[in-house]
Amino acid sequence: MPKIVISGRGGSGKSTLVTLIAQTLKEQGKEVLVVDSDESNLGLGIMLGIEPAEKTLMDHLGGKPIVTEKIMTMIRQEGNEQVDLFPEDVTLKDLSPEFVHWNENAGFMQIGKIEHTMEGCACPMGAVARDFLKHLILDEGQWVLVDTEAGVEHFGRGVVEGADAVIMVVDPSNDAVLLTEKAAELTEEAGKDFGVVLNKVDEDTKPVLEEVLAAKGIIIKGFLPYSSALAQTNLRGKSLDVHSTKGELDNLIMKITP
Ligand SMILES: Nc1ncnc2c1ncn2[C@@H]1O[C@H](COP(=O)(O)OP(=O)(O)O)[C@@H](O)[C@H]1O
Ligand SMILES: [Mg+2]
């Protein structure tokens, strides 16, 4: 079953969409693991209503300095950073509760967060995410949703390599459209499925955004209207309620199921 990377510009609604898809899959009785690969933002656990585990995956692997050293050794020996941090395949059942917290059939884990000034770039987080996703084997009815940092750096870091598909969240802005074109090219280069979900659209802007994307040959899988309930729940630091979205999610999940 699918491992899907959710991509998009900052504030487009990636974490919101990941949360709503995860909650819907959970209600459908599917098992879903949400992987937070955004090294900066901290609010995904709150949106999901799942407390982050004691450790990030990076901590579980010994911490960033140790992982960075393994990557540097790889670069020196092989000339690339394709480090094997997980020598064996793993299943959802194998994942340690030290870095995954479950709420019934929905799990939440974080790859790693920037913790200190001058700690260096977030490239090791990308290497960890890529290798983890590559080695994670899913059964029928199991899903993985990967929330990402803003922009397209996760393509450069190869995170998409470990996934089956990319869903781009597009809010009504020219920057979002330009980024979508770029992401579509990069996804094709990586040989993965690509689709777009429009977010924060109203009845007037939705057709305009559809027209602009259609002119670029971009396939739209679904949309989420602007919802003041979602915006206010988030602003108050509460977990989101998928029931406030009126069934759009069931439809969307059908369309993004590979
Ligand atoms: N459909 C929507 N309607 C209203 N507000 C939304 C919607 N989707 C996202 N938001 C709001 O937009 C902001 C950014 O959303 P978020 O999911 O954190 O974006 P990202 O993860 O892409 O940075 C948040 O305040 C969120 O509540
Ligand atoms: Mg986010």
All structural domains of the chain with their residue ranges: 3-256
Low-confidence ranges of the chain (pLDDT < 50): none
In this prediction, residue 94 carries a pLDDT of 94
Ligand nearest to C-alpha 199: 1
> What distance in Å separates the CA atoms of residue 26 and residue 107, rounded to the nearest whole number?
10
In this prediction, residue 91 carries a pLDDT of 97
Ligand nearest to C-alpha 167: 1
The secondary element (H helix, E strand) that includes residue 36 is strand 31-36
Distance 15 CA to ligand 1 centre (A): 7
Pocket test for ligand 1, best of 16, 148, 223, 241 (most atoms within 8 A of CB): 16
Rg for the chain, CA atoms, rounded: 18
> What distance in Å separates the CA atoms of residue 129 and residue 206, rounded to the nearest whole number?
34
In this prediction, residue 247 carries a pLDDT of 78
In CATH terms, the superfamily for domain 3-256 is: P-loop containing nucleotide triphosphate hydrolases (3.40.50.300)
Ligand 1 interacting residues, C-beta cut-off 6 A: 8, 10-16, 199-200, 224, 226-227, 230-231, 234
Distance 231 CA to ligand 1 centre (A): 7
In this prediction, residue 19 carries a pLDDT of 97
Distance 225 CA to ligand 2 centre (A): 18
Q: In this structure, which residue's CA is closest to atom 25 in ligand 1?
A: 231
Pocket test for ligand 1, best of 234, 235, 242, 245 (most atoms within 8 A of CB): 234
In this prediction, residue 148 carries a pLDDT of 96
Ligand nearest to C-alpha 38: 2
The secondary element (H helix, E strand) that includes residue 102 is strand 101-103
DSSP state at residue 218: P
In this prediction, residue 221 carries a pLDDT of 95
> What distance in Å separates the CA atoms of residue 45 and residue 116, rounded to the nearest whole number?
21
147 Cα nearest atom in ligand 1: 21
In this prediction, residue 244 carries a pLDDT of 83
Ligand nearest to C-alpha 42: 2
User: What 3 state SS string does 137-192 have?
Assistant: CCCCCEEEEEECCCECHHHHCCHHHHCCEEEEEECCCHHHHHHHHHHHHHHHHHCC
Token digits for 76? Answer: 């020196």
Short-list 188, 184, 189, CA closest to 221:
184
83-130 tens-digit pLDDT: 888 889 999 999 999 999 999 999 999 999 888 888 888 888 999 999
> What distance in Å separates the CA atoms of residue 192 and residue 161, rounded to the nearest whole number?
8
In this prediction, residue 81 carries a pLDDT of 76
The secondary element (H helix, E strand) that includes residue 59 is helix 57-60
Distance 87 CA to ligand 2 centre (A): 30
Global confidence as pTM: 0.95
| Helix, coil or strand: residue 47 | helix
